[in-house]
Amino acid sequence: MHTLYDSDTFSVTHMLANAITADLPGDEQRDGEQLLIVPRLARHGFEIVDKRANKEVYLDGSWAELFQQQISAWQEKTPTQEEVEDKLEQYAGLAQNPVHIH
């Protein structure tokens, strides 16, 4: 899990799939003497939290791929904070889940 962006209004976290697990079915790989189980569908996603509305949206699958393309575009041409916040506000429009603190 990596925090990619954090401001007064939004937070973006990249959630990485767990590649090593002993309990899930998957493809076996050898790492020296240790047997690793790699899930067949290792997925990652992005959590976007709208701090003003206390709601979050989790992007995975094709939504995560689209958002990853947006991040790549931002890396090529550094946007202003306003441009980033405008784009995050569009994604935050998908947010339906209230933020819960555990």
User: Would residue 6 count as lying in a domain?
Assistant: yes
Stretch 79-84: mean pLDDT, rounded? 94
Global pTM exceeds 0.75: no
**Beta-sheet strands, E only, within the chain:** 2-6, 10-15, 26-31, 34-39, 45-50, 55-60, 97-98
Domain that holds residue 69: 2-95
Q: What is the pLDDT of residue 35?
A: 60
User: Would residue 100 count as lying in a domain?
Assistant: no
pLDDT (tens digit per residue) in 8-63: 999 999 988 765 544 444 444 444 555 655 555 556 899 999 999 999 999 988 89
User: Would residue 30 count as lying in a domain?
Assistant: yes
User: Would residue 102 count as lying in a domain?
Assistant: no
User: Would residue 66 count as lying in a domain?
Assistant: yes
Coil, strand or helix: which one is 30?
strand
